[in-house]
Amino acid sequence: MKSMWKQAGIMGAALAASRPALAEWAFNLQTPASEVAEHVFQLHNLIMLVCLGIFVVVFGAMFYSLFKHRKSVGHKAAHFHENTTVEVIWTVIPFVILMGMAYPAAKVVIDMKDTKNPDMTVKITGYQWKWGYDYLNDGISFYSNLSTPREQINGTSAKGEHYLLEVDEPMVVPVGKRVRLLITANDVLHSWWVPALGAKQDAIPGFIRDSWFKADKIGTYRGQCVELCGKDHGFMPIVVEVVSEEDYKAWVAKKKGTAQVAAADDSKTFEVAELVERGEKVYQANCAACHQANGMGLPGAFPAINGSKVATGPIADHIAVVMNGRPGTAMAAFAGQLSDADIAAVVTYQRNAWDNKMGDAAQPAEIAAARGGAAEAAAPAAQ
Amino acid sequence: MSDVAHAHDDHGHHAHPTGIMRWLTTTNHKDIGTLYLFFALIMLFAAGSMALLIRAELFQPGLQLMHPDFFNQLTTMHGLIMIFGVIMPAFSGFANWQVPLMLGAPDMAFPRMNNWAFWVLPVAGLMLMSSFLLPGGAVAGGWTMYPPLFIQGGISYDLTILAVHIMGLSSIMGSINIITTILNMRAPGLTLMKMPLFCWTWLITAYLLIATMPVLAGAVTMLLTDRNFGTHFFNAAGGGDPVMFQHIFWFFAHPEVYILILPAFGIVSQVIPTFARKPLFGYASMVYATASIAILSFIVWAHHMFTVGMPAAAQLFFMFSTMLIAVPTGVKVFNWVATMWKGSMTFETPMLFAIAFVCLFTIGGFSGLVLAIAPVDIQLHDTYYVVAHFHYVLVSGALFAIFAGIYYWMPKWTGHMYDETLGKWHFWLSVIGMNIVFFPMHFLGLAGMPRRIPDYALQFTEFNQIATYGAFIFGFSQLIFLAVVLKSIKGGAKAPARVWEGAEGLEWTVPSPAPYHTFETAPVVK
């Protein structure tokens, strides 16, 4: 029996092997790039073949009957309507077929749930609407945003090859290593999925769930958030670059270098113009999805910043809203997401952009001070 | 309808109000059945238009017609209205018209409650539809209402919670009525195991509704207090758990899936024997299979949640219990095929829809089996494969069975035969259109396209375009259905009491159209 299943799996794989010729017309799961994805792929092929077989037999009989047992060809109705033997047979046979499916499926379930003995661990956090990656072994942290330009989405420029499936900072992992994923979320539910790696796990705020993959081949693998997470659910892709061990080490060294430069910024004092220039970039990456590039928000859903009480009121309250968010709304707390320099920059930008001509500036030191007194700062934000 | 009113006047009981007051105050099961069916018809076009807007946006990659937030409002409202405003009220309409006629009962057991159960529905429907006009727009968190996203929304989210409460109330009242009618008001001699299968499926459905609607009410009430009164049932920061909502919700929503399909099984089990001119094969096993499906529906809910991350043992349990459902469902399909076998079949529109139901619902059943396999589900969860799966069971399943039932009993209701040529056009365009919309979605899901996205990567373009063409064929062919219904109400060939040559049962012993009051003296069933 076992070899029968194996054969069916191979047949399915052979059917699937004709896929490259179809390129854009993919009829099956993506080409697996990990052992788990490979198992899932074969399991799916096997079950499809069994279903196809049953379908042909049952509906072969039905369509035979539709053509032969019709009044217009003069067929007279028989009157049988009960047969216990037949009923028992067609209850038992499906049951046996299901048992045959359950066994290989259970093996894959147990394999997928086994996250023991990883070579490295990455914590992944879902945000509205981007992913955060923390490499727990190497001490690297970064955010990964959609990098497809807005013009392509709005149709004012031609769409690129990886439209909506490209990010500014991909997740990078070495080939052939067991990567354990600790997945959580910051605001609402998200779900992290890379089809070719066979890993999908919902990201749940307040809880950490784990998953794993081991990429077999060097390459770039793309996926998307698959749990509805609000307005830009369709715009938070995942890109995993699987590289050689040496390339991975080089990447880690480079990331650590940039982190040091960024940390140095937090102890500087900037000119207003510098902060506005830097803040505009931070605003585009983190704020513009809701509050819009023109600062006008979306009426009813997301408030305007242009002319708002917060952006034209006391600067300490403004900083508090950006850092602590507004609980119960889509406004996230950015204290944990952005550096002191970036928060200072984006607050300064918001107070000086569009019609907001406040002329004042927040400095990284003020943000650092606010971090120290986070409890007091939370009070005005909660109003 | 004028004929129904005439029949009523001829009968000359006591004076009834006319015009709008007749419909507002009616306690007659036939009037209330008609109201349910027209409500469902109007909502079908409302929610169907939303589907066409969704498909229009998805015709090509990029954002062409709408903001992503409005797109999410459309997908959410399309789902909520199709489930609570179309399929469920349509089945209630069938139950109201047919259950008393099939049982030889003069009316439903609680006529006044019956009136109330219907008339709260338009209120809920209006609350849902009007939320598009509120600041922030309609609810956009998916029909599944998952927190914390659902906590973020505006005033329309509270309105949706109240609407869900009202619709649940309506369903519970309707179910109490149906259960009491079936258990107490059968004609002498009509034992439970002689009862038409449609009554059996509704009896079991009504129990499912009574068991699960309060669970939904509890879940949405917790959402309401989390949103407005500072509780933290689903907020981890306050000691709650967002996943708990999913457990409670699916404990309701999986039985709900069968609430949406069991009456369809019942309708198809009436239609096929009529046009095969042969009794239903395996009546007793059909009853047992329906009951088994209903019982199993309470222990499979977490198969909607394989990706939230649960222990391997829980995954295995829910995978095995879900696979088990294939057994009684298979028995039903085999029985329908065996009913056709060696019959003397003709292919009027009700039979065509019933045959399409058996065939296409089974495709939905097979994709359900694929999704029952936990590792495969983890790949396909929240992709277009799931969208394809539940549209095969709800469109070619529930909706096609409703069409079959309407064509089957409409001559009994209006007294006129429907236009068979138009009916066949409706059937063929629907069945072709439906497959063009939903079959390619299997491939989209396998290739990795998530559901509920307003814009997609370029490799998904071709199948999305095909699906959109199909959606417009399918959507606009429903105008033919509207024409057939209106035409049959206005006039047409006079229908005899026994409309179909092979029809069996008490409803065919009363004249067509069925008089306003029927079975005032109970018939005796041998």
How does DSSP assign B262-329, residue by residue? HHHHHHHHHHHHHHHTSPPTTHHHHHHHHHHHHHHGGG-GGGGGGGG---HHHHHHHHHHHHHTHHHH
Q: Name the domain count of chain B.
A: 1
Confidence at residue A19, expressed as pLDDT on a 0 to 100 scale: 41
Is there a contact between A189 and B149 if contact means CB atoms under 8 Å apart? yes
Confidence at residue B8, expressed as pLDDT on a 0 to 100 scale: 46
Distance (Å) from the alpha carbon of B524 to chain A's nearest alpha carbon: 24
Cis peptide upstream of residue B513 (ω within 30 degrees of 0): yes
* Given the residues B256, B348, B377, B507, the one annotated as active site: B256
Question: Is B362 annotated in the active site?
Answer: no
Starting at the edge strand found earlier in the chain, the sheet holding A120-127 runs A140-144, A130-135, A120-127, A179-185, A209-213
3-state secondary structure of B347: coil
Distance (Å) from the alpha carbon of A351 to chain B's nearest alpha carbon: 26
Q: Which residues, listed in sequence order, are joined to residue A210 by a DSSP beta bridge?
A: A182
Question: B49 near B42, Cβ under 8 Å?
Answer: no
**Which residues from A are below 8 Å from B454, CB to CB?**
234
Confidence at residue B135, expressed as pLDDT on a 0 to 100 scale: 86
Does residue A299 register a pLDDT over 90? no
What whole-number distance in Å separates Cα of residue A96 and Cα of residue A4? 14
Closest B-chain CA to A44: B376
Contacts of B34 (CB under 8 A, 6+ apart): B1, B4, B93, B97, B413
Q: Give the pLDDT confidence of A174-231 residue by residue, as tens digits.
A: 999 999 999 999 999 999 999 999 999 999 999 999 999 999 999 999 999 999 999 9
Residue A371: pLDDT band with limits 50, 70, 90: confident
- Residue B454, chain A, CB below 8 Å: the answer is yes
Q: Is residue B307 part of a domain?
A: no
CB contact residues (below 8 A), chain B span 271-310, against chain A = 276-285, 307-309
Question: B83 near B143, Cβ under 8 Å?
Answer: yes
Is there a contact between A163 and B458 if contact means CB atoms under 8 Å apart? yes
Nearest Cβ partner of A201 from B148, B307, B338?
A: B307
Q: Give the pLDDT confidence of A283-294 residue by residue, as tens digits.
A: 888 888 888 888
What whole-number distance in Å separates Cα of residue B53 and Cα of residue B50? 5
Starting at the edge strand found earlier in the chain, the sheet holding A199-203 runs A171-174, A237-243, A219-225, A190-194, A199-203
- Residue B151, chain A, CB below 8 Å: the answer is yes
Question: Is B381 annotated in the active site?
Answer: no
Radius of gyration of chain A (CA): 28
What whole-number distance in Å separates Cα of residue B251 and Cα of residue B245? 10
Residue A124: closest CA among A29, A213, A215, A248: A213
Question: Is B451 annotated in the active site?
Answer: yes
- Residue B56, chain A, CB below 8 Å: the answer is no
Does residue A273 register a pLDDT over 90? no
Nearest Cβ partner of B369 from A47, A112, A228?
A: A47
> Model-level pTM?
0.90
Nearest Cβ partner of B277 from A77, A81, A300?
A: A77
Confidence at residue A5, expressed as pLDDT on a 0 to 100 scale: 54
**Which residues from B are below 8 Å from A229, CB to CB?**
149
Contacts of B11 (CB under 8 A, 6+ apart): B515, B516, B517
Confidence at residue A287, expressed as pLDDT on a 0 to 100 scale: 87
Question: Is B269 annotated in the active site?
Answer: yes
Q: Which amino acid is at A313?
A: G
**Which residues from A are below 8 Å from B306, CB to CB?**
none
Question: Is B112 annotated in the active site?
Answer: no
Question: A57 near B332, Cβ under 8 Å?
Answer: no
What whole-number distance in Å separates Cα of residue A31 and Cα of residue B447? 9
Task: Characterize the bridge pairing of strands A237-243 and A219-225.
Answer: antiparallel
Confidence at residue A368, expressed as pLDDT on a 0 to 100 scale: 86
Q: Is residue B17 part of a domain?
A: no
Residue B452 Ramachandran class (φ > 0 left, ψ -120 to 50 alpha, else beta): left
For chain A, give the mean pLDDT.
87
Question: Is B78 annotated in the active site?
Answer: yes
Confidence at residue B1, expressed as pLDDT on a 0 to 100 scale: 42
**Which residues from B are below 8 Å from A66, CB to CB?**
340, 345, 355
Confidence at residue A377, expressed as pLDDT on a 0 to 100 scale: 43
Question: Is B420 annotated in the active site?
Answer: no
Burial of B99 by CB count in 10 Å (0-12 exposed, 13-18 middle, 19+ buried)? buried
Is there a contact between B370 and A153 if contact means CB atoms under 8 Å apart? no
Distance (Å) from the alpha carbon of A237 to chain B's nearest alpha carbon: 10
Confidence at residue A358, expressed as pLDDT on a 0 to 100 scale: 85
What whole-number distance in Å separates Cα of residue B461 and Cα of residue B478? 26
Q: Is residue B367 part of a domain?
A: no
Question: Is B304 annotated in the active site?
Answer: yes
Question: Is B202 annotated in the active site?
Answer: no
Around B456, how many Cα atoms within 13 Å sit in the side-chain half-sphere?
26
Q: Is residue B278 part of a domain?
A: no
CB atoms within 10 A of CB A304: 16
Is there a contact between B327 and A87 if contact means CB atoms under 8 Å apart? no
Distance (Å) from the alpha carbon of A23 to chain B's nearest alpha carbon: 9
- Chain centroid to Cα B8, Å, comes to 30
Task: Pinpoint the alpha helices (H) of B373-491.
Answer: 374-380, 384-393, 400-414, 420-447, 461-490
Q: For residue A290, give both structure tokens.
A: 């809701």
Distance (Å) from the alpha carbon of A165 to chain B's nearest alpha carbon: 7
Distance (Å) from the alpha carbon of A252 to chain B's nearest alpha carbon: 30
CB contact residues (below 8 A), chain A span 111-170, against chain B = 112-113, 152-155, 159, 161-165
HEC per residue, chain A: CHHHHHHHHHHHHHHHCCHHHHCCCCCCCCCCCEHHHHHHHHHHHHHHHHHHHHHHHHHHHHHHHHHHCEHHHCCCCCCCCCCHHHHHHHHHHHHHHHHHHHHHHHHHHHHHHCCCCCCEEEEEEEECCEEEEEECCCCEEEEECECCCHHHHHCCCCCCCCCCCCECCCEEEECCCCEEEEEEECCCCEEEEEHHHCEEEEECECCCEEEEECECCCEEEEEEECCCCCCCHHHCEEEEEEECHHHHHHHHHHHHHHHHHHHHHCCCCCCHHHHHHHHHHHHHHHCHHHHCCCCCCECCCECCCCCCHHHHCCHHHHHHHHHHCCCCCCCCCCCCCCCHHHHHHHHHHHHHCCCCCCCCCCCHHHHHHHHHCHHHHHHHHCC
**Which residues from A are below 8 Å from B383, CB to CB?**
226
Does residue A300 register a pLDDT over 80? no
Q: Which residues, listed in sequence order, are joined to residue A202 by a DSSP beta bridge?
A: A191
Show the CA angle centred on residue B171, arms to residues B170 and B176, nearest 5°: 100
Closest B-chain CA to A329: B152
Nearest Cβ partner of B341 from A36, A69, A198?
A: A69
Question: Is B6 annotated in the active site?
Answer: no
Is there a contact between B344 and A235 if contact means CB atoms under 8 Å apart? no
Q: Is residue B159 part of a domain?
A: yes
* Given the residues B258, B409, B418, B516, the one annotated as active site: B258
What whole-number distance in Å separates Cα of residue B126 and Cα of residue A94? 46
Q: Is residue B420 part of a domain?
A: no
Q: Is residue B165 part of a domain?
A: yes
- Residue B428, chain A, CB below 8 Å: the answer is no
- Residue B239, chain A, CB below 8 Å: the answer is no
Confidence at residue A24, expressed as pLDDT on a 0 to 100 scale: 59
Q: Which residues, listed in sequence order, are joined to residue A302 by a DSSP beta bridge?
A: A298
Distance (Å) from the alpha carbon of A104 to chain B's nearest alpha carbon: 10
Q: Is residue B526 part of a domain?
A: no
Nearest Cβ partner of A226 from B337, B373, B383?
A: B383
Cis peptide upstream of residue B450 (ω within 30 degrees of 0): no
- Residue A90, chain B, CB below 8 Å: the answer is yes
Q: For residue A64, give both structure tokens.
A: 């035979």
Question: Is B131 annotated in the active site?
Answer: no
Q: Which helix (H) or strand (E) holds B225?
A: helix B197-228
Mean pLDDT of A97-122: 93
Averaged pLDDT in 10-residue chunks for chain B of 526 residues: 46 69 94 97 97 96 93 96 97 97 96 96 95 91 94 91 96 97 96 96 97 96 95 92 96 96 97 96 96 96 95 95 95 96 96 97 96 96 97 97 97 96 97 97 96 95 96 97 96 94 94 94 89
Mean pLDDT of A137-159: 92
What whole-number distance in Å separates Cα of residue B440 and Cα of residue A26? 10
* Given the residues B29, B227, B254, B416, the one annotated as active site: B254
What whole-number distance in Å separates Cα of residue B413 and Cα of residue B488? 10
Residue A3: pLDDT band with limits 50, 70, 90: low
* Given the residues B26, B29, B92, B107, the one annotated as active site: B107
- Residue B129, chain A, CB below 8 Å: the answer is no
Burial of A220 by CB count in 10 Å (0-12 exposed, 13-18 middle, 19+ buried)? middle
- Residue B447, chain A, CB below 8 Å: the answer is yes
Residue B80 Ramachandran class (φ > 0 left, ψ -120 to 50 alpha, else beta): alpha
DSSP state of B382: T
Around A312, how many Cα atoms within 13 Å sit in the side-chain half-sphere?
12
B123 is in which domain, residue-wise?
A: 24-195
Around B406, how many Cα atoms within 13 Å sit in the side-chain half-sphere?
31
Question: Is B426 annotated in the active site?
Answer: no
Q: How many beta-carbon pairs below 8 A join chains A and B?
A: 293
Closest B-chain CA to A108: B375
Does residue A7 register a pLDDT over 70? no
What whole-number distance in Å separates Cα of residue B31 and Cα of residue B119? 12
User: b/e for B281-320, b at 16 or more Cβ within 10 A?
Assistant: bbbebbbebbbbbbebbeebbbbbbbbbbbeeeebbbbbb
Q: Give the pLDDT confidence of A35-87 residue by residue, as tens digits.
A: 999 999 999 999 999 999 999 999 999 999 999 999 999 999 998 999 999 99
